[in-house]
Amino acid sequence: MGEYEQTMTVQASPERVLDFVADIQNMPRYLPTTKSAQPQGEDRVRVQGEAQGHKYDSDGYLRRDPQGKRLEWGADEGYYSGWLQVSEAGAGASSVTVHISLRDKPPGADQSGGPSDEQINEGLLKGLQSIQNHVEGRGGKVEPSAAT
């Protein structure tokens, strides 16, 4: 399927950004298609939501590396993984990069169609904008024009 990446500057320290995104309870506040997220033990998460008219319920891993200012995740089925890297951007700001790898469609998904590269990149950008809004105290979740 592909590799996708977006970067945005956030006016907050890298630690503050990482603390926000690594809190599983915050995931529905910034992930475009996620409606619910629950911890499932150490480094484990269950997420539920809807993408392109298809509901999903998926278990996976979520690993935080505070020293590396990095978060890594992936679905147990292996079709999806990603990482988020936060770095200093000067004057109390952070550069936040999110990268996802799609190797296949999720189990049970319609095998025809799927999101376009443009829709996936828009979803990444809207997720970053949502993180920026929450961490900077300027609002909430920004939804893509079409649910990715």
Q: Which domains are present in the chain?
A: 2-136 (3.30.530.20)
- Ordered strands of the 44-51 beta sheet: 2-10, 94-102, 80-88, 70-75, 54-65, 44-51, 34-39
45 and 61 Cβ atoms separated by less than 8 Å: yes
pLDDT at 15 over 90: yes
pLDDT at 2 over 60: yes
Q: How confident is the model at residue 27 (pLDDT cuts 50, 70, 90)?
A: very high
Percent of the chain with pLDDT over 70: 90
Token duo for residue 129: 């904008």
Token duo for residue 20: 């926000």
User: pLDDT tens digit string along 60-93?
Assistant: 999 999 999 999 999 988 888 999 999 999 989 9
Q: What is the pLDDT of residue 77?
A: 85
Q: How confident is the model at residue 108 (pLDDT cuts 50, 70, 90)?
A: low
What's the average model confidence in pLDDT over 9-17? 96
Of 35-44, 67-76, 111-120, 123-132, give the lowest mean pLDDT range: 111-120
